[in-house]
Amino acid sequence: MVVLFVDMDYFFAACEELRRPELKGKPFVVGTHPEKDKFRGVVQTCNYEARKYGVHSAMSINKALELCKDLVYVPDDYKYYDEMSAKVMKLIRGYSFPVEQDSVDEAAVDLGKISYENAKRTGEEIKRRINAETGLPCTIGISYGKYLAKMVCDASKPNGFGIVTEKEMHAFLDSKPVGKLPGVGEKTEAKLKSIGITTVGELAKVNPVALIDKFGSAGVDMQQLAKGVDDGKVVSTEETLSIGRQSTLYRETGDIEVIGKKLKELSDDVAKESARKEFMFKNVGVMVRYSDFTQVTKAANMTHYSSSSEDIYKMAISLAKDLINGKIVRKVGVRVSALLTTKGQKALF
Ligand code: TTP
Ligand code: MG
Ligand code: MG
């Protein structure tokens, strides 16, 4: 299997640069809109000029200004970024490989059993087309598994293209800090450090018993990846016989209020889409993707067929509460199935 991973470069900031070319070359951040957000002034992202000063995502705007006094502040506009994201995803899906959208600006594509040479050709074309047709820069990583392809992509940023094959993987991985492994956040990184592990190579070699003690079975998975064993499947995020919407949270969170808001939006969208397609539905499902990329779904039947957004939301929030249960979430989805057409004998397709 060959997997191609795309991640847009400095995505929100690149979108802003596209419509405001005067920003080019100046250090700037895209920040939370102060009127909209009580947690005022957080950096969502910044261009690479600002990164040179040490500015990064999730930093307070004040801190960013301390680091770079000429920093320009641009308020966010999610609606616009979602539109640009949809353009990119549509282009990628146009190749009819299975596509898993992992966040607003990234996707994994299962190229199947093809040679690295052909994968390179396809990847270069996708990169060129994203750039030409959306005006946005991106980076592509190619490898033999989803997580490794993501790592190759990260390591090739910005405006890059990287391929790491089975043979090259150890050289690629061994000296990397463990924090570069997908799913290894600051907490895990600190825990690993406490048992003397800072690099991926060290993680690959340590006695697994020590990892199981600290992390349970997740420790085994982490070590497998460190050894270059990646069985992460690309789970195609297209659905049939159901109507669904998924959306990435702009910040990972465990806050049910924030997640609930997103579920409300998604429920509204799903209700609109089923009205447009003239369906009623009886089954409501939710999908939750945790910060470590694992994904769970839960669905339940209502007592009646419905077409109401409120019904979807009520069911979705109750299902989501069970799944979230204090965990940190990256992405959520809402889906209705058990569809009943409200228009004669219309077929489902
Ligand atoms: P990333 O892909 O993590 O970052 P990026 O695209 O800005 O930069 P690069 O990939 O070149 O390193 O995130 C995608 C978008 O998600 C980002 O442009 C803004 C948003 N985001 C937040 O709002 N808060 C955050 O803490 C992060 C990391 C991203
Ligand atoms: Mg990005
Ligand atoms: Mg990203």
pLDDT in tens, 284-295: 999 999 988 888
CB 181 within 8 A of CB 225: yes
Is 63 in the same domain as 145?
Answer: no
Is 53 in the same domain as 18?
Answer: yes
Is 70 in the same domain as 86?
Answer: no
* 10 C-beta closer than 6 A to ligand 1: yes
233 located within any domain: no
Is 175 in the same domain as 192?
Answer: yes
Is 176 in the same domain as 162?
Answer: no
Q: Given this model, what pLDDT does residue 72 score?
A: 95
CB 203 within 8 A of CB 191: no
Length of the chain: 349
Residues above pLDDT 70, as percent of the chain:
94
Atom 5 in ligand 1: residue holding the nearest Cα: 10
The residue ranking higher by pLDDT, 236 or 81, is: 81
- On the question of pLDDT at 127 being above 70, the answer is yes
Confidence band of 280 (pLDDT split at 50, 70, 90): confident
Q: How many CB atoms lie within 10 A of CB 64?
A: 24
Q: How far is the CA of 86 from the centre of ligand 3 (A)?
A: 14
Long-range CB contacts for residues 194-202, cutoff 8 Å, separation at least 24? 199/174, 199/175, 200/173, 200/174, 200/175, 200/176, 200/226, 201/170, 201/173, 201/174, 201/175, 201/226, 202/178
Is 181 in the same domain as 92?
Answer: no
Mutation test residue for ligand 1: of 18, 39, 52, 57, the one with most atoms within 8 Å of CB = 57
- On the question of pLDDT at 281 being above 70, the answer is yes
Is 265 in the same domain as 312?
Answer: yes
Atom 7 in ligand 1: residue holding the nearest Cα: 10
Q: How far is the CA of 103 from the centre of ligand 3 (A)?
A: 6
Find tokens 């690959």 and name the residue. Answer: 204
* 105 C-beta closer than 6 A to ligand 1: yes
* 11 C-beta closer than 6 A to ligand 1: yes
- Active-site hit among 16, 17, 100, 106: 106
Q: How far is the CA of 106 from the centre of ligand 3 (A)?
A: 5
Which DSSP category does 142 fall into?
E
* 158 C-beta closer than 6 A to ligand 1: yes
Find the helix packing angle between 186-194 and 208-215, rounded to 10°: 130
35-73 confidence digits (pLDDT tens): 665 446 789 899 999 999 999 998 988 899 999 999 999
349 located within any domain: no
pTM: 0.73
Ion ligand 3 neighbours, Cβ < 5 Å:
7, 103, 105-106
8 Cα nearest atom in ligand 1? 6
CATH number of the structural domain spanning residue 21: 3.40.1170.60
Nearest-angstrom CA–CA distance, 139 and 141: 7
Q: Given this model, what pLDDT does residue 68 score?
A: 95
Nearest-angstrom CA–CA distance, 226 and 208: 12
Q: Given this model, what pLDDT does residue 240 score?
A: 42
- On the question of pLDDT at 117 being above 50, the answer is yes
Total domain count, the chain: 4
Q: Which residues of 199-215 are buried (b: 16+ CB within 10 A; e: fewer)?
A: bbbbbbebeeeebeebb
Instruction: Tell me, yes or no, if 106 is annotated catalytic.
Output: yes
13 Cα nearest atom in ligand 1? 18
Q: Given this model, what pLDDT does residue 344 score?
A: 47
Q: What are the backbone angles phi and psi of residue 142, rounded to the nearest 5°?
A: -130, 135
What is the side-by-side order of every strand in the sheet holding 329-341? 243-253, 329-341, 279-290, 295-306
Confidence band of 233 (pLDDT split at 50, 70, 90): confident
Confidence band of 218 (pLDDT split at 50, 70, 90): confident
Mean pLDDT of 242-267: 93
| Residue span of the structural domain in which 190 resides | 171-226
Q: Given this model, what pLDDT does residue 349 score?
A: 37
Q: How many CB atoms lie within 10 A of CB 50?
A: 24
Q: How far is the CA of 123 from the centre of ligand 1 (A)?
A: 22
Q: How far is the CA of 193 from the centre of ligand 1 (A)?
A: 26
Is 114 in the same domain as 201?
Answer: no
Mean pLDDT of 140-162: 97
Q: Given this model, what pLDDT does residue 347 score?
A: 36
